[in-house]
Structure 1
């Protein structure tokens, strides 16, 4: 009877941990899906979804916006001014729909840090009726991108933390993706405060179609547990050696940031769930 009771307690403990993990994964997913910016640019509210942690940042288009102030500059400055003329909400005739899919979420065993890889398919543009009043005139385009984000739990609430969005490809609606001009979106060239709405730093990590390098995975191979080789992330020309392609992309942290828990591992159902070099307890 005592042995059965001990076994039952162990099972209950395991079930509690599993329920907590599944619950945290669901909450992280909802945080991303609930981001107002993924529906329409209600930029003020989306900034409040970011962590107050000093290491918070957004990595986007070869640049990095650091801390809550940098995040505000991107959303309340660049996006809000460009898309909706400073309004905290939509304007008639401007479309900015993000469809989120293929999400893969991993939560560390402390239940305070999570990673998410997710794809986005965007439909954007202006209606012909506002071509004379919207600064973009009459335009419509598609965009495909990929997120490799990190989230942390602050005061019991999951928040966006290290936000990395890689806009993978763009396509003008009439021409399709095969005729998209290279560097469809200009890379930022100036930082804040020289550019009042600019990023805190310019980084070398730049990728736009027809560049097809693979964004690194926060997780290992689901069966072998091995990390993807860097050369396999490159995209050389057809028939050429991998080393002739651009350097592989990276999820490395900016200078001055670290992952205190690096080197720790954890397992679930007999397999490694998160890469050892990404595990961090905050």
Structure 2
């Protein structure tokens, strides 16, 4: 069942759970994530950022849309970390039902202006919009890496931003970082700040950089108002680490001898996240 971001996040906001947004970058990953979400009866956001779409190409999207439409669970197809108004237009043309415009590294006024412009166009064709206020930290230099220094979201700025832009969901900065944390960097979420942001802006809130954070902090963030959590690095590490292990044997070459094992490892990680976010069984709410 294909839905947009607003349709999938409204019940999460009402019933205090978070919908997982899993970043996928090939067909095997996508079908594995669909399968485990259906097995657990969980709503799903399939997230693809510009670099991932560059890898899969736009021709990938019609097959994704066809698979989603045939599914019994609600699924939104989300353009992750779009960097410009023009990118948002491309995403809408490709068939994404949810788009993110990320101007968090720009000034507040520039962020408002571009986000509002994307909202006007997207809402006209039934596509929902996510924006970001504050900056997510980074642990490496991949595409959506983030900032060297986290700029935490100000609650009153969040309220003003939502009112002026009309966005459907807001990614907030409360201490997460994209990527996998090195040993010397300790993840720590500002849950007190999350409480204040949710009070000021009670729309669905999004947590980026959800990989590699302590489970107890993530679970608390869900109970306190996070309704969408992006997971990319954790499932990719599981998938590709298993692939490295399988391909140690030089005789292995057939896809069916390689990828099912990788998908199984990824599904195990994804299942843990789905349950951690209290999303299992929630497809019945739609």
Tell me the TM-score normalised to structure 1 length: 0.26
- Select the structure of larger CA radius of gyration: 1
User: Relative contact order (C-alpha < 8 Å, sep 6+): which is higher?
Assistant: 2
Could you say which structure has the higher helix fraction?
2
